[in-house]
Amino acid sequence: MSTGSQAHAASYGTPSISLSAAYLSGAVGAVGDPAVQVTVAQSGADAAALKVTATRSSRTSVAQTADVQVTGAGATRQVTVAARGQGYTDLTLKVTGVDGQTATKTLHYAASAAVQQPADTRYFTGSSDASAAVDVGGGYVVVADDESNVLRLYDRGVSGAPVRTWDFSSQLGVSKEVDIEGGARVGDTIYWTGSLGNNKDGEYKPARNTVFTTKVTGSGASTSLSYAGSYTKLRDDLVAWDEEHGDRYGFAAGTATGQAPKQIDGFNVEGLEFAPGSTTTAYLGFRAPLAPAVPGGKALLVPVTNIDQVVAGKAATAFGTPVELDLGGLSIRDIRKNAANQYLIVAGSWAADDNSDPYALYSWTGNAADRPVKLRDLPTSDPGGWEAVVDVPDLSTAGARAQLLTDNGSADLYGDSTEAKDLTHAEWKKSRTVWFTVTG
C-alpha cells in the first residue's frame, strides 16, 4: 500500500452510532409500528457512505435480523421491526465506516401479540393506562392516564410516543394520581375529572376528588396546555345532594370507608361531557352505581349545571335532574359528543376485572327522554378494556368511523405475566386505539 493510501486510511475516525430510544415496542402484524431514529457519523467520511445493519437478534422467534428495516440516508436513519412473535429480543445495530471500522448499539425490542383489525389499529406508547381522550384538531389528541397526572399529545394516525407531555401535579398540589377518568372540551377549556371514588382497597384518597381545567392554545401538533383551575369537593357535593333527595343512589354508602368503587353499588365516575348546546352543564357519567344497583340496572348521568362557576370558585355546585339510560345492564365508561350534539357512549361493566366482560357502543341524542341506540358490540378478545372515544363522526352518514381507545394497564402484553402498568420501561407501555365503522 502506498504512503498516500495509509495517510488516507488514518484520516478516518472511529464511527459512532446512537439511538433516539434504546427501547421499542411493536406488535405482530401491525401497520405503522413505531420507528427508532439512528444517528451515525465518522470523522473524515460522508455520513451517506456509512452502512447501518442489524447483525444479531437474541430471540429470533420474536424478530430476526431480516425483519429489521433501515431507511433514510445521511446521518439520520429510521429503523423499524416487523415482529414474528410475542416477546422480547435484543437487536444489535451496527454501523460500518467507509474503512471497515464498526460500532454497535443494542435496541431492546418488545412485541405484543397480533390483534383483530390490525390495519385500523395504532398504539400510543409511553403509558398503558389511557383513561380519557380529547381531540385537539389536526389529527391530534390529548390523552389522560389514570395512573398519573400527565397529559400526553399524540398523533392519532400513527403508533409511537407522545409529541408533548404536561404534568400538572405541582399546580394541583398533589403527590398522588388524580385518577383522571373523563375529559370534555368547551371552547379553549378542557375539563378533566378524577374518578371521585375510593381506591381499589376502599380507601379515600383526596387527590381523586379533583376536577381541574386546562386552557388550550394552538391546535394539532402545536397544541399547548396550561393549568387554569381546580375544585376538590365535587364528591362531597354529590353525596350531600343524594342524601337531600332520599339517598336515591346510595352515594354515601358507595363512598364509605372500605367500599371498593367498582361494585354495582359503588361510586366511580368515568365519563364527562357537556349537555346538548350547553357550555355550563356537564354530565357526569357513572361506572358505578347502576340505577337501581341490581343486575340489569340503568346507567347513571348526573348533570352539574354550573360546572364553569364551580371550578372557578364562584358558586356552589348545582345539580340538574339525573338521567338514567338503558345500556343493557352496562354502565358508562365514556361519553363524547360532536358539534352537532350527536353522542357516543362506551358501555361496559361496573366490575373491576372486566377486560373480558361485554362492551358495547351506543349513540344518543343527549336528551333524557330519548333512549340510547346500540350501534355494535365491541370486541373483547384482544388485551385492554375499552375506555375512551377520541371523537364522534357525523352519525347521520353511512360508513362513519369512530376512533376508540383502550386502557391496557392490566394487560399482559408480552407474554411474561407482567401487567403493562408494571413494565420497567415507558417505551414498552402502550394503549391501543382502533377505528370502528359505527353506522351502516
CATH code, domain with 395: 2.115.10
Candidates 288, 285, 289; CA nearest to 304 is 285
pLDDT for residue 3: 39
Dump pLDDT digits (tens) for 338-375: 999 999 999 999 997 766 789 999 999 999 999 999 99
Q: CA distances (Å), 140 to each of 127, 135, 403, in order?
A: 17, 6, 12
Classify 201 in phi/psi space as left (phi over 0), alpha (psi -120 to 50) or beta: alpha
pLDDT for residue 357: 84
pLDDT for residue 1: 39
Question: Quick one: 222 and 206 in the same domain?
Answer: yes
**What mean pLDDT is predicted for residues 238-242?**
98
Question: Quick one: 232 and 206 in the same domain?
Answer: yes
pLDDT for residue 354: 64
Domain termination site, one of 94, 112, 130: 112
Alpha helix locations (H) across 284-426? 307-311
Domain that holds residue 154: 118-437
Dump pLDDT digits (tens) for 159-208: 999 999 999 999 999 999 999 999 999 999 999 999 999 999 999 999 99
**Spatial contact of 289 and 250, defined as CB atoms under 8 Å apart:** yes
Q: Is the pLDDT of residue 2 over 50?
A: no
Cα distance between residue 162 and residue 34, in whole Å: 11
**What mean pLDDT is predicted for residues 70-78?**
97
Phi, psi of 210 (to 5 degrees): -130, 135
Cell numbers standing for residue 204: 379515600
Q: CA distances (Å), 240 to each of 54, 174, 206, 235, 271, in order?
A: 63, 24, 17, 9, 21
Dump pLDDT digits (tens) for 30-39: 998 999 999 9
pLDDT for residue 10: 60
Question: Quick one: 37 and 134 in the same domain?
Answer: no
pLDDT for residue 4: 40
**Spatial contact of 128 and 116, defined as CB atoms under 8 Å apart:** no
Dump pLDDT digits (tens) for 250-274: 999 999 999 999 999 999 999 999 9
**What mean pLDDT is predicted for residues 403-416?**
97
Q: CA distances (Å), 415 to each of 30, 64, 86, 87, 373, in order?
A: 17, 19, 7, 6, 37
Cα distance between residue 163 and residue 225, in whole Å: 13
Candidates 363, 370, 315; CA nearest to 335 is 363
Sheet with 373-378, side-by-side order of all strands? 331-337, 343-348, 359-364, 373-378
| Cα 246 → chain centroid | 38
Candidates 89, 202, 128; CA nearest to 407 is 128
CA angle (170 as vertex; 164, 172 as ends), nearest 5: 100
Domain termination site, one of 85, 112, 139: 112
Question: Quick one: 101 and 170 in the same domain?
Answer: no
Q: Is the pLDDT of residue 227 over 80?
A: yes
Question: Quick one: 224 and 358 in the same domain?
Answer: yes
Question: Quick one: 157 and 98 in the same domain?
Answer: no
pLDDT for residue 181: 98
Report residue 109's pLDDT band, with 50, 70 and 90 as the boundaries.
Answer: very high
Report residue 112's pLDDT band, with 50, 70 and 90 as the boundaries.
Answer: very high
Candidates 207, 197, 204, 206; CA nearest to 250 is 197
Dump pLDDT digits (tens) for 143-154: 999 999 999 999
Question: Quick one: 214 and 338 in the same domain?
Answer: yes
Q: Is the pLDDT of residue 412 over 80?
A: yes
Question: Quick one: 82 and 123 in the same domain?
Answer: no
| Cα 388 → chain centroid | 8
- What rounded mean pLDDT belongs to the chain? 96
The fraction of the chain above a pLDDT of 70, given in percent, is 97
pLDDT for residue 356: 72
Question: Quick one: 78 and 122 in the same domain?
Answer: no
DSSP calls for 65-120: GGGEEEE--TTEEEEEE--SSSEEEEEEEEEE-TTS-EEEEEEEEEEEPP-S-GGG
Question: Quick one: 48 and 163 in the same domain?
Answer: no
Cα distance between residue 417 and residue 88, in whole Å: 13
Report the CATH number that the domain containing residue 73 is assigned in CATH. 2.60.40.1080
Number of domains in the chain: 2
Domain termination site, one of 112, 136, 167: 112
Question: Quick one: 127 and 101 in the same domain?
Answer: no
Dump pLDDT digits (tens) for 278-303: 999 999 999 999 999 999 999 999 99
Question: Quick one: 200 and 265 in the same domain?
Answer: yes
